[in-house]
Structure 1
Amino acid sequence: MLRKILTYGLAAGLISGLAMAVLTTVPHGHLPMAVEMALGYATMLVGLSTIFLAVKRHRDTTLGGVIRFWPALFLGLGISVVGGVIYALAWEVTQALHHMDYVNDYAQAMISQQKAKGASDEALAALTAEMDKMKAKYANPFYRLSMTFNEIFPVGVLVSLVSAGLLRDSRFWPARRVPAALA
Structure 2
Amino acid sequence: MNKIVLKNALFGSIIVSALLAFVTIYMKANPEKEVSMMVGFSGMILAFFFVIWGIKQQRDADHGVISFGKAFKTGFFITLIISTIYVLVWLIILYNYFPNFAEHYTNMAIQKASPEEVAKVTEEMNSFKEMYKNPIWVILFTYMEILPLGIVFSLISALFLKKKTNLF
Contact 1:18 1:90 in 2 (8 A): no
1:127 match: 121
Q: 1:153 aligns with which of 129, 136, 147?
A: 147
> In the alignment, what sits opposite 1:90?
89
8 Å CA contact retained: 2:48, 2:153: yes
Residues 1:58 and 2:52 aligned together: no
Q: How many Å apart are 1:30 and its aligned residue?
A: 6.2
Q: Distance in 2 between matches of 1:126 and 1:13?
A: 36
- Confirm or deny: 8 A CA contact 2:67 2:164 kept in the other structure: no
Deviations 1:66-110 (A, max 9, x none): 111111001111111111110001111122332342211111111
The residue aligned with 1:72 is 71
Q: Deviations over 1:82-140 (max 9, x none)?
A: 111100011111223323422111111111122xx222xxx533432322221111011
> Could you tell me which amino acid in structure 2 is paired with residue 79 of structure 1?
I
Gapped regions of structure 2 (runs ≥ 5): none
Counterpart secondary structure, 1:73: helix
Deviations 1:10-39 (A, max 9, x none): 332232112111012125446544x2x101
Larger Rg: 1
Partner amino acid for 1:113? K
| TM-score, normalised via structure 2 length | 0.86
Pair 1:144 & 2:138 matched: yes
TM-score, scaled relative to structure 1: 0.79
Query: Which SS does the other structure have where 2:65 is aligned?
Result: coil
Alpha-carbon deviation of 1:2? 4.1
Amino acid at match of 2:94: Q
The answer as to whether partners of 2:11 and 2:47 remain within 8 angstroms in 1 is yes
Look up the match of 1:111: 110
Q: Which residue of 2 aligns with 1:177?
A: none
Which consecutive residues of structure 1, in runs of 5 or more, have no partner in the other structure?
172-183
Structure 2 residue matching 1:64: 3-state secondary structure: coil
Counterpart in the other structure of 1:180: none
Length, aligned pairs only:
164
Distance 1:105 1:30, change over 3 A: closer
CA-atom RMSD, angstroms? 2.3
Partner of 1:174: none
Aligned counterparts, 1:15-34, within 5 A:
15-26=15-26, 28-29=30-31, 31-33=33-35
